[in-house]
Structure 1
Amino acid sequence: MKVLHLSTFHRYGGAAIAANRINQALNRAGVLSEMLVAETSVEEPHVVSLAETAWQRRWSKARFALDRLTFMPFERSRAVRFAFSPGLVGTDISQHPLVQQADILHLHWTTFGFLSTRSLQKLFALQKPVVWTMHDMGAFTGGCHHSGTCERYQDQCGNCPFLRTAAPDDLSHGGWLRKQKAYANARLTPVGCSQWLANRARKSRLFGDLAVRSIPNPLDTKQFFPLPKAVARWELKLPDHKRFILFAAAKVSALGKGFSYFQKALTVLRQQLAQPNDVELLIFGAGDESLLNSLPFRYYFLGSLSSLEQIVRAYSAADLFVIPSLEENLPNTIMESMACGTPVVGFEVGGIPEMVRHRQTGYLVEYRSVEDLANGMRWILEQSETGYEQLAVNARNHVVANYDETVVAGRYLALYEEIF
């Protein structure tokens, strides 16, 4: 059985990282699995770039730009520029040798100029079994990646809150109808990375009577494992006698990552702590470091980390990881932190409650509550040594039992065999 994964990226963003991990996990499980992406930044086994020549790479970038340009005249503001994909720009890969040779096509996040809705329709017309691992809501909405409180995706979209001029027959409604046409007669099995996302997908008429499954993203728990804190801190040149709160995001300033909530909660936390100077911050991710200047604790900014060893050190060096995201599916960062034995504090939103067991592997925070976010950080910082060690063990065990790559690869292999 030959499986081909399709993803816009393979290293950039949580969806791409998750897709690549599924591909590599399947290969290690003995499955013939390849991934075709729009363009690669580095060569990697079992990953093939659609753009092989300099001209093709330029055209790939042009498609990305054109895809964004198709949305800009309609966007409500620049803040939502990357939150909606009309699906009008893409390339036809239906005759690509890897597509033709595949027994099963496995879709991931394919927007931003890689596959348009018409591109998908041509793939579905091949009548090959298709698994679609959904890393956000884009597969079953008229274009938005997360609908927030809007429920109009359930029935043809329209009056979209992401658009400058919302109307019953707006861009989102057209996108919804194009997808409905593309999905007709497709041999499609949608898969949500979280139960939360799968449940939302089941409410969309785009999927009709399709059986939506839920399979989490995988993690190699042999690579992500706890290092002694003293060792991790020494290697990162951090003081060993401090308590460290970790914040990490692909882009620290991204609106949905909730950095402003983190900042406000730290101000509250500083007032609550008996010895606030014992606590410091550890931050990694892309973005402007000037955003951190107003934080009420001393911080160490590691920038964007690409080395696996450095990422494991950062998680292991921290006493807790804070994820104040306002919208999430099944964050890789939570999985990585818990695998390294570091408890997590995060809002009770999306798939986070499936990962963080309240006061067992971390602390679930009342959504958008600055006060409770501060309470969660303080609760972990004030744990006894025995209590903290139990939190760390629980966190690691939860990841090994539910998200280890051997567990997830086995679930996908069973699904492939069922639909093939």
Structure 2
Amino acid sequence: MKVALINTVVDRGGAGRVVTDLHKTINASGYDAYIYYGRGAQNQDNSIIKFASNFEFISHVVATRFFDAHGLLSICATRRLIEWLDELNPDVIHLHNVHGYYLNYEIFFDYLKSRKIPLVWTLHDCWSFTGHCAHFEYSACYKWMTECYRCPQSREYPKAYLDRSRINFKKKKNSFTGLFSCEVVVPSKWLKKHFDKSFLNIYNSHVINNGIDLDIFKRKERVDYSSIGLDGDKRIILGVASIWSIKKGVSIFSEMSHFLFDDEVLVLVGRMPSHYKNNFSENVIFIDQTNSVDELVSIYSCADVFVNPTLEDTFPTTNIEAIACGLPIVTFPTGGSPETVDFRYGLVCNPTANDAIDAVRSLYDLDEESLISESRKHAVSNFNKWDRFQEYINLYEVLANN
């Protein structure tokens, strides 16, 4: 069985890491996997193929900014991809992100319809069934359920100065429906619920949670707090993001920082734009970048409580990393974030700083030994990435055999 994996990037970002690990897992299972991607450096592996140029990427960005034509440029790149696929003749195509300035979805989906190749399509966000945005929850806009127009998020990713959300909605609906064989995968029950209300609900959908490498993300018995700039005498409230923003909860954290007791410290890992830092109290440690995954695991292992005050998310991987390292979690009823929580050792609270800090303090007195043991079991049962990838392989086999 030959499987073609397609995504914007490889080995970085949530979807990129999933694609890279899937490629390894499929090959280890005795099948042949190939990755086709649009952006980033060339890869030395002959089965990992970049099909788009940097010039095509820049042109696509320009067309998106000025004409709201995201997913409608990259014509030559997409034809190049099609040539590669024709040469491979895969049994299954596994498509991940369609957006990202690298693919012309009209040309590509016309090809899928003409060739009738079975498709697995993983939606990592909502872009495929809206007229513009990748997420709608923060803006509370539900026009996509009928037809998008006058987009309130046209200046959000993929940023555009012109609003063509109505036209884009119609184009996507026309392109994305009518496939010969398509199985859609979503990482959370929350996204499935909304997928089922979209024009894509003509396809079967499956929930396969994101997973992590549990051999890497596990609690360390001994950590030198000082080596990573932390104070072992204080209760550590931890937050982790790649880049902090309003939607990631930076305003909640800045307000929480003013409620901290003297024996509490807020540790925020991830790039924090300088204009946000002025809003925090002094009892905060910013770690803009960790040197390695091992250092991040050390930080998780030092913390007392993990807080994810996300205001827009599909299925946050940071939650399950924290759980695997034995941390109790506080999060908001946002997207798929509550689905990660074992409610014996975590809380979903109202999306305010006051409620968040109260929830944090209510978790201090949990039995540490039981917390670490049961959190680990929860992670092993639900979030082992190799188990989740086997679910994908099972799906490929069904499609290929049919």
The TM-score, its normalising length taken from structure 2, stands at 0.87
1:77 corresponds in structure 2 to none
Determine which of 356, 363, 366 is the counterpart of 1:373: 356
Instruction: Confirm or deny that 1:95 pairs with 2:103.
Output: no
Aligned pairs (5 A) from 1:40-119: 40-41=40-41, 43=43, 48-50=48-50, 56-71=53-68, 86-90=70-74, 91-92=77-78, 93-98=80-85, 100-101=87-88, 102-119=90-107
2:303 corresponds in structure 1 to 318
Instruction: Confirm or deny that 1:291 pairs with 2:276.
Output: yes
Aligned pairs (5 A) from 1:237-386: 237-252=229-244, 254-268=245-259, 270=260, 276-289=261-274, 291-305=276-290, 307-358=292-343, 360-366=344-350, 368-380=351-363, 382-384=364-366
User: Any idea what SS the aligned residue of 2:136 has?
Assistant: coil
CA-CA distance at 1:109 after TM superposition: 1.7
2:393 corresponds in structure 1 to 413
The change in CA–CA distance for 1:255 and 1:96 in structure 2 (over 3 A counts) is farther
User: Any idea what SS the aligned residue of 1:212 has?
Assistant: strand
Instruction: Confirm or deny that 1:160 pairs with 2:148.
Output: no
CA-CA distance at 1:99 after TM superposition: 6.1
Letter in 1 for 2:239: F
Preserved CA contact (<8 Å) 2:71 2:103: yes
CA-CA distance at 1:160 after TM superposition: 2.8
1:167 corresponds in structure 2 to none
The change in CA–CA distance for 1:128 and 1:357 in structure 2 (over 3 A counts) is same
How many angstroms apart in 2 are the aligned matches of 1:98 and 1:62? Answer: 24
The change in CA–CA distance for 1:34 and 1:316 in structure 2 (over 3 A counts) is farther
Q: What per-residue deviation string (whole Å, max 9, x for no partner) do you get for residues 118-162 of structure 1?
A: 243244233211111111111122221112222221223234322
Q: Which runs of 5+ in 2 are unaligned?
A: 156-162
Letter in 2 for 1:397: K
How many angstroms apart in 2 are the aligned matches of 1:152 and 1:377? Answer: 36
CA-CA distance at 1:103 after TM superposition: 1.9
2:141 corresponds in structure 1 to 150
Aligned pairs (5 A) from 1:184-223: 184-186=177-179, 187-205=181-199, 207-223=200-216
CA-CA distance at 1:171 after TM superposition: 1.8
Preserved CA contact (<8 Å) 2:60 2:70: no
The change in CA–CA distance for 1:129 and 1:243 in structure 2 (over 3 A counts) is same
Tell me how many residue pairs correspond in the alignment.
385
Deviates more, 1:22-31 or 1:333-342: 22-31
How many angstroms apart in 2 are the aligned matches of 1:377 and 1:175? Answer: 43
The change in CA–CA distance for 1:202 and 1:357 in structure 2 (over 3 A counts) is same
How many angstroms apart in 2 are the aligned matches of 1:97 and 1:5? Answer: 12
Preserved CA contact (<8 Å) 1:51 1:60: no
Q: Which runs of 5+ in 1 are unaligned?
A: 72-84, 165-169, 271-275
CA-CA distance at 1:311 after TM superposition: 2.0
Preserved CA contact (<8 Å) 1:357 1:364: no
Preserved CA contact (<8 Å) 2:11 2:19: no
How many angstroms apart in 2 are the aligned matches of 1:140 and 1:404? Answer: 29
RMSD over equivalenced CA pairs, Å: 2.5
Q: Report percent identity of matched pairs.
A: 26
Letter in 2 for 1:355: T
Preserved CA contact (<8 Å) 2:316 2:337: yes
How many angstroms apart in 2 are the aligned matches of 1:192 and 1:408? Answer: 12
Moved over 6 A (4+): none
How many angstroms apart in 1 are the aligned matches of 2:399 and 2:86? Answer: 17
How many angstroms apart in 1 are the aligned matches of 2:213 and 2:42? Answer: 20
The change in CA–CA distance for 1:304 and 1:61 in structure 2 (over 3 A counts) is farther
Preserved CA contact (<8 Å) 1:277 1:297: no
Determine which of 386, 398, 406 is the counterpart of 2:378: 398
How many angstroms apart in 1 are the aligned matches of 2:183 and 2:393? Answer: 14
Preserved CA contact (<8 Å) 1:86 1:142: no
Q: What per-residue deviation string (whole Å, max 9, x for no partner) do you get for residues 226-252 of structure 1?
A: 112x41525424332222111111111
User: Any idea what SS the aligned residue of 2:117 has?
Assistant: coil
1:183 corresponds in structure 2 to 176
1:227 corresponds in structure 2 to 220
